[in-house]
């Protein structure tokens, strides 16, 4: 049985198969039956627009159906242990899609679950989003080997999944964050040890220079809003705006997993410009997640 808690759960040799398959699924938009009659239980401890809707539609278009619950309206919110919840849901459903805070909660669910568990975002990783973003790049370039991709902003869950992805594909990844907001050292070290071409810099211009794709994300992720005032000051030089983009390649594409805070991590004119591919990224959630579910159930 397979879980998808991080990109590292994918076998290395599967990555191009998955990208090709997601592209095929996108082109066909065919109804498939691999989840015929199956139920995916979705447990979301944080809000969501894209992840919830794209997974609900993906499961349905694969022949299954979903049940959505939040901890507040289940016994999880009253302290029922995760390991008990995992075993009970496993007796009813065929899949769990979970958005939560600690990665260790997902790991515990997966340990006690006898059905696959998918990470729909945790504080540490957002693997479904980054797989979809890889598809968004792949459908434009078909080749990662000559690309400079930049991550500019917070060293957060998205940054960590990008760092994981750099172990699998031959692009160069520049990561640039303010001091105090770096990605976790052990995640960076592991990736570099495994051949990822990653350069960390505090200088956003160095990251943006000659980049083919520039990624950013909110400066305060869900659950970190209390630190927002400090973050606004520290992150200002990392805003994706016309000045920063003037250092990148002429045909640079700008990426953001959304939701975006215009005037903070990205300016209105950039997100609305032709350089922005954020709507394709959002669409590709649906197609890539179908490919991931197909891999899990194959």
Residues annotated as catalytic (active site), given as ranges: 99, 126, 129, 217, 257, 285
Site for ligand NVA in 75-134 (CB under 6 A): 121, 126
Q: Which of 157, 176, 215, 284 binds ligand NVA (CB under 6 A)?
A: 157
**Least distance in Å: CB of 257 to ligand CP?**
4
Rounded distance, CA 80 to CA 112, Å? 14
Q: Which of 28, 49, 75, 273 binds ligand CP (CB under 6 A)?
A: 49
SS3 for 274? coil
Tokens of 276: 């922005």
For residues 201-216, one letter each, b for 16 or more C-beta atoms within 10 angstroms of the residue's C-beta and e for the rest, the string is: eeebeebbbebbbbbb
Q: Which of 109, 118, 158, 255 binds ligand NVA (CB under 6 A)?
A: 158
Cβ contacts of 278 within 8 Å, gap of 6 or more: 254, 255, 256, 258, 260, 271
Q: Which of 23, 106, 218, 282 binds ligand NVA (CB under 6 A)?
A: 218
Q: Which of 103, 258, 261, 280 binds ligand CP (CB under 6 A)?
A: 258
Cβ contacts of 225 within 8 Å, gap of 6 or more: none
Whichever of 90 and 161 has its CB closer to ligand NVA, that residue is 161
Site string for ligand CP, 75-94 (x = CB under 6 A): --------------------
Rounded distance, CA 162 to CA 156, Å? 10
Task: Choose one: 15-23, 43-51, 90-98, 192-200; the region binding ligand CP (CB under 6 A).
Answer: 43-51
Please give the angle made by the CA atoms of 50, 53 and 55, to the nearest 5 degrees.
Answer: 100
**Least distance in Å: CB of 46 to ligand NVA?**
7
221 is a site residue for ligand NVA (CB under 6 A): yes
257 is a site residue for ligand NVA (CB under 6 A): yes
Rounded distance, CA 281 to CA 138, Å? 11
Whichever of 56 and 227 has its CB closer to ligand CP, that residue is 56
Rounded distance, CA 206 to CA 186, Å? 23
Whichever of 57 and 258 has its CB closer to ligand CP, that residue is 258
Nearest of 259, 227, 182, 223 to residue 100 by alpha carbon: 223
What does the binding site for ligand CP look like in residue numbers (CB under 6 A)?
48-51, 121, 129, 257-258
């Amino acid at each position: 049985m397979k879980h998808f808690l991080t990109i590292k759960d994918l076998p290395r040799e599967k990555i191009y198969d998955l990208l090709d398959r997601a592209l095929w699924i996108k082109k066909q938009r065919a109804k498939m039956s691999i989840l015929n009659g199956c139920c995916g239980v979705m447990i979301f401890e944080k809000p969501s627009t894209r992840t919830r809707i794209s997974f609900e539609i993906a499961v349905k278009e694969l022949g299954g159906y979903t049940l959505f619950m939040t901890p507040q309206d289940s016994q999880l919110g009253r302290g029922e242990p995760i390991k008990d919840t995992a075993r009970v849901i496993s007796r009813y459903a065929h899949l769990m899609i979970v958005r939560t805070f600690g990665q260790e909660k997902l790991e515990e669910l997966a340990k006690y679950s006898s059905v696959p568990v998918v990470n729909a975002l945790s504080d540490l990783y957002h693997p479904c989003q980054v797989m979809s973003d890889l598809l968004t790049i792949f459908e434009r370039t078909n080749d990662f080997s000559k690309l400079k991709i930049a991550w500019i902003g917070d060293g957060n869950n998205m940054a960590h999944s990008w760092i994981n992805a750099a172990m699998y594909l031959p692009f160069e990844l520049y990561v640039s964050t303010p001091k105090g907001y770096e990605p976790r050292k052990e995640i960076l070290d592991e990736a570099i040890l495994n051949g990822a071409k990653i350069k960390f810099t505090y200088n956003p211009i160095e990251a943006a220079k000659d980049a083919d794709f520039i990624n950013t994300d909110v400066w305060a992720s869900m659950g970190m809003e209390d630190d927002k005032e400090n973050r606004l000051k520290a992150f200002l030089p990392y805003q994706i705006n016309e000045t920063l983009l003037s250092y990148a390649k002429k045909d640079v594409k700008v990426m953001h997993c959304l939701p975006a805070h215009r005037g903070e991590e990205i300016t209105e004119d950039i997100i609305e410009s032709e350089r922005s591919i954020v709507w394709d990224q959002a669409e590709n959630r649906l197609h890539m997640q179908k490919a991931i579910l197909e891999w899990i159930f194959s």
